[in-house]
């Protein structure tokens, strides 16, 4: 996916270079390149963020269960 993003930025950069004024070139680059690309990359990364969040919650629950089990073992020894 990153190669497509790089290619799109290159195309938009070439478009913005051909504009008649500097302001038009900057606006073309921002409005045709950076803004849409940031939205698309954010949306495409949502499943990965969801998986990472679920993995972190699972790890936290496993650590809590291990700590509880260790605490139970200590209380049985007393």
Tens digits of residue pLDDT in 5-50? 999 999 999 999 999 999 999 999 999 999 999 999 999 988 899 9
Nearest to 14 by CA among 1, 34, 28: 28
Q: Give pLDDT tens digits for 50-70.
A: 999 999 999 999 998 888 888
* Confidence bin at 78 (pLDDT 50/70/90): low
């Amino acid at each position: 996916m990153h190669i497509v993003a790089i290619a799109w930025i290159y195309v938009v950069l070439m478009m913005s270079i051909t504009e008649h004024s500097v302001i038009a070139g900057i606006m073309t680059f921002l409005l045709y390149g950076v803004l849409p690309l940031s939205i698309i990359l954010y949306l495409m990364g949502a499943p990965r963020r969801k998986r990472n969040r679920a993995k972190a919650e699972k790890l936290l629950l496993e650590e809590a269960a291990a700590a509880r089990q260790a605490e139970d073992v200590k209380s049985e020894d007393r």
